[in-house]
């Protein structure tokens, strides 16, 4: 035990001193909170920052299919106005933007693709350029891009940090399937000065998607469900996601769309209640799903239905890959329609 | 007449000589300076590029400041709660305010989606919603804690209440996360927050946290002497004039303020409040007036170095700070425990 002298003991402090301490602490708390609040307030409003004068904002991306090019700048998913190009040093930080850039821009205008491009199902398309993780800001700055395309997905502080570093950043926003992909195509086309090509590309993509199962009457369409199996957990992807779009354009009826939206997690009971003819899942999902005793009686696991497995990189692609995925699913789901 | 040589002054166990202490403080400050220099010098970008140098240094200095503040806040909070409970295994999370801040941050992330889609808070920058949510969450937890201590002012009750609140808030965090699972983008953001990450902290977050950390640390230090007296036990401290209820209240408040600031800066960064005081106690002794400033310096140094590791670790994406502090903190703590296994941990 320490001596009192060493501990700095002193006779009991008097009442006024104690009161002073209490008031001092209270004042300090109030001061700290006030200063923090002031810091928060003073840093707020932020007029949309752009490298060039702000212009007229175009309609939100998800509704921007009939995109009018009468403005000087385009509003991104965070409401920041980004001026039209020409951009000559573009970096894609978005798996969604990679194929669009490749389609619309001259190769020399693209500095790098997203970090995930090398893991994409069509990775060989991006092999000629480096890939960069936009979270490595210093790597990104070293490339000196004049436009960075990202899907920030709620990382507001990070996006702002990129802008604070002097980069022109266009946030493509959510990746929710065909509509958001088409919106991204048009936005990138507009920004890079290739709007006509973008319209053509988007239109072609949409036409091909719609052509996959156009001839199938509604009554002939089979019921289906996307299920991702991760350990003992069963995750879905329905209304408002690319998985739902893949099923729909493949000519299937997404049975989860009536009761769910987004990326729900299912318990086995829900799956048995939904009991679709077809389950679309990632490679290896069939065994993980149908070998579970409680799920073995699912139509899809028996001879009455089927489980369609797709490469997870393709299945998870909320961009150009949706077309290939829809075509593959359609071919497996309706084998009678295969060309001889 | 033969005069016997004066017996060498023997310092009580745990005490450190003044010269040795000064030297150790100087070394710690030097280590901090070294860590800061390393943080500014090391990165993936090339500082020799004259066009980028200013921007790179600005970015690195932001990360440096954020790491310093978060580390200092967590380490000082750790010393305060360990002193209050006279338990070396206490960490700032025992009060439940960390969990409150974490819950507030998660709720803010969900609110952020709503704000972005509706534009309902035009006077507030969206990137400030998360840190503000964390601060408000911690303050709400603090309010609950103070309410309970008003009913029954006792250290054990305080500890148990903190534990229960931590469990409650963790469950609520789980509930909030389960709601977000239906929205992939949101669950990704929540996961990033849970892993602890300082890379997104910019000038606004730093401006928000700085007053909380500076004032919290200084005012926490003003309670060092009562905490030192507590080392001899509550009864002894009371007999020496320490007002225990006042001490508890303000230590709890300043711990909450400090953890709120740390969570607002970097999400859940674990182990700092537990490991750093343990690393420093053998060097600086257990007296809080010395240990608290040492913890501020040491905590800052530790997190700055961990952040440097995050940046230079190879990999396609950056490793979150919370992962690095955990990977270093847990084995270090175990090593410290084994080193001191024969020594009493009763301060």
Whether A63 contacts chain B with CB within 8 A: no
What secondary structure letter does DSSP report for A60?
P
The answer to whether residue B321 sits within a structural domain is: yes
The answer to whether residue B45 sits within a structural domain is: no
Give the residue ranges of DSSP H helices in B181-287. Answer: 184-195, 203-221, 224-230, 234-239, 244-266, 272-284
Whether A59 contacts chain B with CB within 8 A: no
CB contact under 8 A, A21 and B201: no
Q: Are A223 and A255 in contact (CB under 8 A)?
A: yes
CB contact under 8 A, B184 and A263: yes
- Residues of chain A contacting residue B204, judged by C-beta atoms under 8 Å apart: 39-40, 43, 157, 160
CB contact under 8 A, B15 and A6: yes
- Residues of chain B contacting residue A135, judged by C-beta atoms under 8 Å apart: 199, 317-318
Which domain does B140 fall in, by range?
61-342
Lowest mean pLDDT among A3-12, A21-30, A107-116, B221-230: A3-12
Q: What is the pLDDT of residues A309-330, one digit of tens each?
A: 998 888 888 888 999 999 999 9
pLDDT band per the 50, 70, 90 thresholds, residue A5: very low
A35 alpha-carbon distance from chain centroid: 36
CB contact under 8 A, A154 and B109: yes
Closest residue of chain A to B228, computed from CA coordinates: A7
What secondary structure letter does DSSP report for A224?
E
Whether A62 contacts chain B with CB within 8 A: no
- Residues of chain B contacting residue A136, judged by C-beta atoms under 8 Å apart: 44, 317-318
Point out the residue among B127, B183, B253 whose CB comes nearest to the CB of A263.
B183
The answer to whether residue B101 sits within a structural domain is: yes
CB contact under 8 A, A2 and B14: yes
Q: Are B102 and B265 in contact (CB under 8 A)?
A: no
Report the residue of A14, A20, A28 to disrupt the B interface, i.e. the one with the largest count of B CBs within 10 Å: A28
- Residues of chain B contacting residue A47, judged by C-beta atoms under 8 Å apart: none
How close A48 comes to chain B (CA, Å)? 11
> Is the pLDDT higher at A42 or at B13?
A42
Report the residue of A46, A136, A145, A256 to disrupt the B interface, i.e. the one with the largest count of B CBs within 10 Å: A136
SS3 A112: strand
Could you report the predicted ipTM of this complex, rounded to two decimals? Answer: 0.74
Q: Are B135 and B208 in contact (CB under 8 A)?
A: yes
What's residue A54's pLDDT?
32
Q: Are B182 and B289 in contact (CB under 8 A)?
A: no
CATH number, position B72: 1.10.3470.10
Point out the residue among A157, A166, A175 whose CB comes nearest to the CB of B55.
A166
CB contact under 8 A, B241 and A135: no
The pLDDT > 90 percentage for chain A reads 29
CB contact under 8 A, A138 and B59: yes
Distance (Å, whole) CA B278 – CA B295:
10
- Residues of chain B contacting residue A77, judged by C-beta atoms under 8 Å apart: 116
- Residues of chain A contacting residue B111, judged by C-beta atoms under 8 Å apart: none
Q: Identify the residue whose tokens are 């990632």.
A: A282
Whether A79 contacts chain B with CB within 8 A: yes
One pLDDT digit (tens) per residue for chain B, 347 residues:
444 444 444 555 555 677 788 899 999 999 999 999 999 998 877 888 887 788 888 888 989 999 999 999 999 999 999 998 888 778 888 888 889 998 998 888 887 766 655 656 666 666 677 888 888 898 888 888 888 877 877 778 888 888 899 999 999 988 888 877 766 667 777 887 888 878 778 788 888 899 999 999 999 999 999 998 888 888 888 888 888 888 888 998 999 899 989 988 888 788 899 999 988 988 898 899 999 999 999 999 999 999 999 888 877 667 888 889 999 988 988 888 787 655 544 44
Question: Which residues lie below 8 Å from residue A1, measured CB to CB, with a gap of 6+?
Answer: B232
User: What CA–CA distances, in Å, run from B263 to A56, A268, B82, B147, B344?
Assistant: 38, 37, 19, 23, 32
What does the mean pLDDT of chain A come to?
Answer: 81
Distance (Å, whole) CA B338 – CA B119:
55
- Residues of chain B contacting residue A22, judged by C-beta atoms under 8 Å apart: 246
Q: What is the pLDDT of residues A132-146, one digit of tens each?
A: 888 888 888 989 999
Mean pLDDT over residues A46-73, rounded? 42
The answer to whether residue B314 sits within a structural domain is: yes
What's residue A175's pLDDT?
82
- Residues of chain B contacting residue A265, judged by C-beta atoms under 8 Å apart: 181-182
Closest residue of chain B to A240, computed from CA coordinates: B183
How close A317 comes to chain B (CA, Å)? 13
Radius of gyration, CA atoms only, chain A: 27
The answer to whether residue B105 sits within a structural domain is: yes
The answer to whether residue B159 sits within a structural domain is: yes
Mean pLDDT over residues A192-215, rounded? 90
Question: Which residues lie below 8 Å from residue A259, measured CB to CB, with a gap of 6+?
Answer: none
- Residues of chain B contacting residue A43, judged by C-beta atoms under 8 Å apart: 125, 128, 203-204, 207
> Is the pLDDT higher at A5 or at A106?
A106
Q: Is the dihedral of CA B181, B182, B185, B189 positive or negative?
A: negative
Interface A:B, Cβ pairs < 8 A: 196
Distance (Å, whole) CA B72 – CA B273:
9
- Residues of chain B contacting residue A24, judged by C-beta atoms under 8 Å apart: 219, 222
Tally of domains within chain B? 1
Question: Is 80 exceeded by the pLDDT of residue A14?
Answer: no
Whole-model pTM? Answer: 0.74
> Is the pLDDT higher at B343 or at A299?
A299
On the 0-12 / 13-18 / 19+ scale of CB atoms within 10 A, B266 is buried
The answer to whether residue B215 sits within a structural domain is: yes
Q: Are A234 and A267 in contact (CB under 8 A)?
A: yes
The answer to whether residue B157 sits within a structural domain is: yes
């Amino acid at each position: 035990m320490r001596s009192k002298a060493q501990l700095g003991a002193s006779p009991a402090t008097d009442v006024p001193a104690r009161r002073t301490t209490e008031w001092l602490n209270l004042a300090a708390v109030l001061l700290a909170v006030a200063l923090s609040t002031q810091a928060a307030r003073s840093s707020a409003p932020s007029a949309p920052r752009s490298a060039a004068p702000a212009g007229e904002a175009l309609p939100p991306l998800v509704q921007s299919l009939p995109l009018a090019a009468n403005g000087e700048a385009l509003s991104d998913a965070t409401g920041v106005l980004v001026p039209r190009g020409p951009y000559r040093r573009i970096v894609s930080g978005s798996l969604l933007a990679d194929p669009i850039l490749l389609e619309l821009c001259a190769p020399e205008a693209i500095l790098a693709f997203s970090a995930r491009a090398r893991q994409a199902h069509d990775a060989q398309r991006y092999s000629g350029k480096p890939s960069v993780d936009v979270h490595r800001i210093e790597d990104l700055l070293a490339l000196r891009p004049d436009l960075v395309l990202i899907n920030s997905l709620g990382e507001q502080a990070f996006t702002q940090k990129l802008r604070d570093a002097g980069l022109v950043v266009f946030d493509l926003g959510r990746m929710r399937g065909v509509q958001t992909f088409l919106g991204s195509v048009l936005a990138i086309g507009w920004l890079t000065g290739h709007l006509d090509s973008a319209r053509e590309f988007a239109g072609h993509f949409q036409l091909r998607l719609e052509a996959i199962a156009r001839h199938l009457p509604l009554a002939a369409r089979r019921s289906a469900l996307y299920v991702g199996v991760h350990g003992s957990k069963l995750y879905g992807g329905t209304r408002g996601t690319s998985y739902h779009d893949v099923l729909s354009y493949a000519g299937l009826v997404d049975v989860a769309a009536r009761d769910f939206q987004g990326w729900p997690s299912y318990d086995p009971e829900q799956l048995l209640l939904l009991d679709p003819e077809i389950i679309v899942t990632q490679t290896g999902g069939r065994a993980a799903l149908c070998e579970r005793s409680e799920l073995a009686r699912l139509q899809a696991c028996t001879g009455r239905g089927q489980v369609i497995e797709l490469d997870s990189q393709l299945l998870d692609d909320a961009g150009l890959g949706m077309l290939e995925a829809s075509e593959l699913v359609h071919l497996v789901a309706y084998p009678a329609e295969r060309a001889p | 007449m033969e005069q016997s040589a004066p017996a060498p002054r023997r310092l009580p166990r745990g005490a450190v000589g003044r010269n040795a202490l000064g030297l150790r403080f100087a070394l710690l400050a030097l280590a901090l300076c070294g860590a800061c220099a390393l943080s500014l010098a090391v990165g993936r970008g090339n500082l020799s590029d004259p066009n980028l140098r200013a921007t790179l240094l600005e970015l690195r200095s932001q990360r440096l400041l954020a790491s310093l503040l978060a580390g200092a806040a967590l380490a000082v909070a750790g010393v305060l709660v360990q002193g209050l409970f006279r338990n070396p295994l206490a960490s700032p999370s025992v009060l439940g305010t960390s969990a409150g801040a974490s819950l507030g941050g998660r709720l803010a992330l969900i609110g952020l989606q709503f704000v972005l889609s509706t534009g309902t808070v035009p006077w507030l920058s969206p990137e400030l919603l998360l840190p503000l949510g964390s601060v408000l969450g911690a303050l709400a937890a603090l309010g609950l804690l103070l309410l309970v201590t008003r009913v029954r002012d006792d250290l054990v009750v305080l500890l148990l209440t903190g534990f229960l609140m931590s469990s409650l808030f963790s469950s609520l965090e789980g509930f909030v996360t389960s709601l977000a699972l239906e929205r992939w983008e949101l669950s990704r953001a929540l996961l990033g927050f849970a892993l602890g990450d300082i890379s997104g902290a910019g000038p606004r977050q730093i401006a928000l946290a700085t007053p909380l950390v500076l004032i919290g640390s200084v005012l926490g230090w003003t309670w060092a002497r009562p905490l030192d007296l507590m080392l001899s036990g509550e009864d002894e401290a009371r007999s020496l004039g320490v007002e225990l209820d006042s001490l508890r209240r303000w230590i709890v408040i300043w711990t909450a303020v400090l953890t709120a600031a740390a969570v607002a800066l970097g999400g859940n960064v674990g182990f700092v409040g537990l490991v750093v005081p343990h690393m420093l106690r053998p060097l600086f002794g257990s007296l809080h007036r010395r240990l608290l400033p040492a913890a501020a310096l040491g905590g800052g140094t530790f997190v700055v170095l961990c952040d440097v590791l995050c940046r230079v670790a190879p990999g396609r994406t950056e490793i979150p700070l919370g992962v690095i502090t955990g990977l270093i903190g847990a084995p270090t703590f175990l090593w410290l425990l084994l080193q001191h296994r024969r020594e009493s941990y009763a301060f």
